[in-house]
């Protein structure tokens, strides 16, 4: 049976918001029948002058890579362990982002937008009258990231849907297609992908980030690279919601999913 082989978005204790040991994550992945995992711990960038209290620095990734090397040995033959990172709004500090990428060799890099003007999207209120402006600002940041960022796949492109849903508001980026299309087109043109992030299924949005309708638009604009990730911050969420994600990918017309080693994609089939 064709199925999802890899979880391409996971966090460990090398992220500020997880206490999970990499080994526990890998064990969960192997037990769930996955063949590969990418550990993508957070690194957040801030605009000049914004305080980054509680966030980890470069030294964290030296420790993360050493821990992943041990997991790679321990799970050899059972589970491929890819060394990844999720960079948040790297365009806020292009020099810092370049230094980070030079300092480490990652297999896979997720580019995300978690913050606007240094404020987490989860901490913003979403009053009806402000939603169009907030979505516009968010899509503008995504466009700059898509056009200039050093990453492989864009993370949870419609994360704003997730946080608006917490406040009982529905946001669909396809309602802003004039601003969304340049993001998707830039990704496709630069050979970059999207991910389906299944954390939305476990949260108020109650659907994947993004769902099939946005993925279909990416496909129409030439997008070819797609990964699926749980965004697990604990072992029990590894691989969660992957059947739904697979159905969304197929419904959008994707026939392959991507895997990455040393930042180079390879593909495996998910549809006949």
CB proximity list for 137: less than 8 A, separation 6 or greater: 116
C-beta of residue 10 within 8 angstroms of C-beta of residue 231: yes
- Does residue 249 contact residue 257 with C-beta atoms inside 8 Å? yes
Concatenated DSSP letters for 145-159? Answer: HHHH---SEE--TTH
CB nearer Zn ion, residue 85 or residue 184: 85
**Which residue lies nearer to Zn ion by CB, 44 or 219?**
44
**Could you tell me the smallest distance in angstroms from the CB atom of residue 152 to Zn ion?**
14
> Least CB distance from residue 130 to Zn ion, whole Å?
25
* Cα 144 to Cα 218: distance, rounded to the nearest angstrom: 17
Does position 231 interact with Zn ion (CB under 5 A)? The reply is: yes
User: Considering the rule CB under 5 A, would residue 158 count as an interface residue with Zn ion?
Assistant: no
Binding segment for Zn ion (CB under 5 A), chosen from 30-38, 58-66, 225-233, 248-256, is 225-233
CB of 28 to Zn ion, least distance (A): 16
- Give me the least distance between CB of 88 and Zn ion, in Å please: 9
Binding positions for Zn ion, 79-98, rule CB under 5 A: 86
Residue nearest to Zn ion (CB): 231
Instruction: Count, in order, helices (H) and strands (E) of the chain.
Output: 8, 11
The angle formed by the CA atoms of residues 208, 209 and 212, to the nearest 5 degrees, is 65
- 83 or 216: CB nearest Zn ion: 83
d(CA 24, CA 264): 27
In this complex, which beta carbon is closest to Zn ion, that of residue 34 or of residue 216? 34
Interacting span for Zn ion (CB under 5 A) from 67-75, 119-127, 164-172, 229-237: 229-237
Q: What is the DSSP-derived secondary structure letter of residue 198?
A: G
Work out how close the CB of 24 gets to Zn ion at its nearest, in angstroms, rounded to a whole number.
Answer: 17
Shortest reach from residue 9's CB to Zn ion, in Å: 6
Strands (E), 113-222: 115-116, 119-120, 153-154, 193-197
Nearer to Zn ion, 81 or 185 (CB): 81
Q: Which chain residues interact with Zn ion by CB under 5 A?
A: 86, 231
């Amino acid at each position: 049976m064709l199925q999802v082989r890899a979880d391409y978005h996971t966090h460990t204790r090398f992220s500020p918001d997880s206490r999970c040991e990499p080994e526990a994550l890998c064990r969960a992945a192997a037990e769930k029948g996955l063949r590969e995992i990418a550990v993508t711990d957070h690194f957040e960038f801030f605009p000049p002058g914004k305080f980054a209290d509680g966030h980890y620095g470069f030294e964290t990734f030296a420790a993360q890579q050493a821990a992943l090397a041990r997991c790679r040995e321990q799970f050899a033959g059972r589970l491929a362990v890819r060394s990844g990172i999720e960079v948040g709004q790297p365009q806020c500090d292009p020099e810092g982002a370049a230094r980070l990428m030079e300092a480490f060799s990652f297999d896979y890099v997720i580019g995300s937008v978690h913050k606007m003007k240094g404020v987490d999207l989860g901490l913003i209120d979403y009053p009806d009258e402000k939603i169009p402006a907030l979505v516009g600002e968010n899509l503008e940041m995504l466009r700059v990231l898509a056009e200039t960022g050093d990453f492989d796949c864009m993370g949870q492109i419609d994360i704003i849907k997730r946080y608006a849903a917490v406040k009982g508001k529905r946001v669909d980026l396809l309602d802003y297609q004039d601003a969304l299309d340049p993001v998707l087109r830039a990704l496709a043109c630069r050979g970059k992908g999207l991910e389906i992030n299944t954390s939305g299924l476990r949260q108020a949005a109650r659907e994947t980030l993004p769902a099939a309708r946005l993925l279909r638009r990416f496909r129409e604009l030439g997008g070819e690279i797609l990964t699926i990730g749980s965004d697990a911050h604990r072992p029990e969420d590894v691989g969660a919601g992957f059947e739904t994600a697979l159905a969304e990918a197929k419904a959008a017309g994707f026939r392959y999913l991507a895997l990455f080693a040393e930042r180079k994609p390879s593909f495996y089939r998910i549809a006949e």
